Amino acid sequence: MKKKMWLIIAAGCMLLILVAVIIFVNRPTPQDKIMDMLNRVENALGDEWEKKIVTEVSDLVYSDGEGNNIIYHVCLTTYYGVEATAQTGLNTGAISAVISPDEAESCRECIVSGLPAAIYQKDGRAYLCWTIMPELSCVIEYDPVVESEENMLRMAESVPANQSQTGNP
């Protein structure tokens, strides 16, 4: 009788573990939820609407021993049914994924590797922005009290201006 009870308890525990594994394995990740939401919006728009431009941002964070950060944002833009070569100069649409130029407290134009660039300031942070090609824009975010503008321009100049379309700076 004791053996039968232990078998029932073991089978029950295994069933509970199996149910827990199924629940946690099938749980959607935050990225899945976002993609599902975007697909729902896209489906709700109907056939007369189509994607034109999508910008994805990848961040590289550099820190020193004192907790100061320099963030290098790489903005890759994909054009759907829109001519990418129509984009010339600073791609403010792409850099808006990092900082909105309209909301910046100040702006100063400059040149990086012979390309038009701008330095925006907002909330005590500076953003050095430039576009290498229509599909690739870069933003260096830094604290202007800690880092000099000259050092950031030198860092930006180190990124080759003839990047491939894969956008690996």
**Residue located via tokens 């038009």:** 116
- With 0-12 / 13-18 / 19 or more C-beta atoms within 10 angstroms meaning exposed / middle / buried, residue 137 is buried
Is the residue at 21 inside a domain? yes
Domain that holds residue 149: 53-157
pLDDT reported for residue 70: 94
- Domains in the chain: how many in total? 2
pLDDT reported for residue 168: 44
pLDDT reported for residue 52: 80
Residue ranges in the chain modelled with pLDDT below 50: 164-169
pLDDT reported for residue 162: 58
pLDDT reported for residue 24: 73
pLDDT reported for residue 164: 43
- Indicate whether 82 and 23 sit together in one domain: no
pLDDT reported for residue 167: 42
- Indicate whether 132 and 105 sit together in one domain: yes
The C-alpha atoms of residue 83 and residue 105 are separated, in whole angstroms, by 32
